[in-house]
Amino acid sequence: MVRVLREKIKNKGLYQEHEMKPLLTPSILAANFANLEADIKAAEKGGADYFHLDIMDGHFVPNISFGPWVAKLMKSISGVPLDAHLMITKPREYIPKFIDAGVELIYPHMEASFDVYRTIQLITDLGARAGITLNPATSVKTVEGVLDLIDSVLLMSVCPGFGGQKFIPTTMKKITDLRSLLDEQKPSVRIAVDGGVTLDNVGDLRKAGADFFIAGSAVFKAPDIEQRVRDFKKTME
């Protein structure tokens, strides 16, 4: 399902049509780090649109993952764009390092700092694209304060910190509520969903209004990664 959006071009009174194509973003957290290159190449061959880097500091979430060096490593094995999901309490200290490493899109958490607007400004000032992430219990209304700077909103459909958790069903209503808020205030902003995304729920998530699908275990724990990515893309569209 490709959503077509008619958006007014600022100050010109003209309308422009955008295609809101669904994009699949495998999260490498679930990949085999002993043979990362093989997993990444298989997902790339299947048609992965982005790769998702889950950055965890052991403070904001009860787990530690990896830093900007993995972004650099990814850039040496794949041309697919990268996003970084920053589950860290001091995002501004690390944002320049992720951008230097080649990350195109950065998602700090709304809950990580009271001055998240400043964090997002740093991302856009350094020339990357910015999104904002909301935990399951954070209201979609909170995005209104940062809408002028962001391209996408990442809705967590599990509590962040670990791969392989079960999708929280109330996320469906958050997607529809957020889509209507965005349609009124900034229709070009995309909705990403992260956590427990599978072949079984991705069709419903798309119908509810999500555009970017982040999937870890459902992609990298599959017996045939390349085929699984193809199956996802077919089901999303």
* Contact residues: ligand DX5, CB under 6 A: 27, 29-30, 52, 54, 85, 158, 160-165, 194-197, 214-218
209 versus 216: smaller Cβ distance to ligand DX5: 216
The catalytically annotated residue of 39, 54, 57, 211 is: 54
Per the annotation, the verdict on 177 as an active-site residue is no
Which partner from the list ligand DX5, Zn ion, none does 190 bind, CB cut-off 5 to 8 Å by kind? none
The CB-of-13 to Zn ion minimum distance in angstroms stands at 39
Which partner from the list ligand DX5, Zn ion, none does 161 bind, CB cut-off 5 to 8 Å by kind? ligand DX5
The catalytically annotated residue of 39, 57, 83, 194 is: 194
Give the whole-angstrom CA distance, residue 141 versus residue 191.
14
The CB-of-138 to ligand DX5 minimum distance in angstroms stands at 14
Per the annotation, the verdict on 125 as an active-site residue is no
Residue 133 vs residues 27, 28, 70, 155: alpha-carbon distances, Å: 15, 18, 21, 6
Which partner from the list ligand DX5, Zn ion, none does 29 bind, CB cut-off 5 to 8 Å by kind? ligand DX5
86 versus 130: smaller Cβ distance to ligand DX5: 86
* Angle, in degrees to the nearest 10, between helices 116-125 and 91-100: 20
Going by C-alpha positions, the residue among 64, 118, 66 that lies closest to residue 91 is 118
The CB-of-222 to ligand DX5 minimum distance in angstroms stands at 11
For residue 96, the number of C-alpha atoms closer than 13 Å in the C-beta half-sphere is 2
- Strands of the chain, DSSP E: 3-9, 14-20, 23-26, 51-56, 82-87, 105-108, 129-134, 152-156, 190-194, 212-215
Angle among Cα 111, 124, 65 to the nearest 5 degrees reads 50
Catalytic residues: 54, 194
